[in-house]
Homo-oligomer: A and B are copies of this chain.
């Protein structure tokens, strides 16, 4: 995927409404990966709706949050990627998460009786609210942007949301950076239907879902398929399967691209070892650099080794 190659007339869904961190993410992705003017952004009322539209072909891509540096993975997105009809990650972007307490102009702190935000937003501002507005009632909104819209409509007094929401809905901050943890970052991904693959850039990630049965040593055998080919993991997370408490699957982010021979052989090895594997895409890494492959795992080392074996195998049967 690159700006030159994005076909005109694309529609990308994102977790709306306007004014959310996801909108900031999808704009960043569009500016980075699409030529000007070719992509229309389309806010959806939920992750499930955005992905349903993507699967149905109503949109060409969908931008959703994947993990937050404070709260961890976003369960809904993981669930869709793991159990839903297959989708792949085409790109990623990291967005700093800074909460403002947004109010209508003229509202003072002491006027605030109700504060809206998404449940995850509430989880991140709990400390600030307790310390500064202990009597305000926290209200669950479908999103931080929806909370801001409700403030603009006069239905709520304040919303905990990003500054973009303030700009969008004509609100002003009664307080800024009210999250309990500073430096919070959320990783957003742009999903597509399988069948398209981002071209290798030399600094890529490959994401996999690996289902592992309960036999001792199986997880390690699976991870060895990656490590023995010099592939570095940047993320490894277990999640319970829906079948039984005590059974898990693993989400893995690894340095490298499926078009590279080391990754291709490693993914094939995982396929042979694991109870199941789902490919979530190879795509450009947004932060950090892939470590150089060890000497034994470079494309050249693979090419030479394959030529060596091909010659051995190509010999005729002796007579």
Contacts and interface: CB of A to CB of B under 8 A. Distances in A.
A268 B235 contact: no
Interface residues of A, number: 91
Tell me how many chains of this kind the complex includes.
4
A273 B120 CA distance: 35
A69 B245 contact: yes
Contacts of A94: 245
Shortest beta-carbon contacts, A-B, top 9: A196-B318, A119-B119, A216-B232, A268-B305, A271-B305, A138-B140, A220-B227, A272-B296, A7-B319
A272 B317 contact: no
A21 B49 CA distance: 31
Interface in A156-212: 181, 183, 185, 187, 192, 194-199
Nearest to A241: B69
Nearest to A248: B235
A29 to B, nearest CB: 13
A319 B194 contact: no
Interface string A303-319: 01110110011011111
A7 B319 CA distance: 5
A259 B277 CA distance: 27
A140 B267 CA distance: 43
12 contacts: A94-B245, A139-B139, A183-B242, A216-B291, A217-B227, A220-B220, A220-B227, A268-B302, A268-B308, A272-B302, A272-B305, A277-B308
B240 A69 contact: yes
Contact of A239 (B72, B197, B216, B264): B72
Interface string A242-276: 10011010100000001100001101110111000
A272 B140 CA distance: 46
A197 B317 contact: yes
Given A242-B181, A271-B308, A319 B223 contact: no
Contacts of A250: 236
A214 B181 CA distance: 23
Given A1-B319, A317-B5, A272 B297 contact: yes
Contacts of A217: 227, 232
A122 B119 contact: yes
A111 interface: no
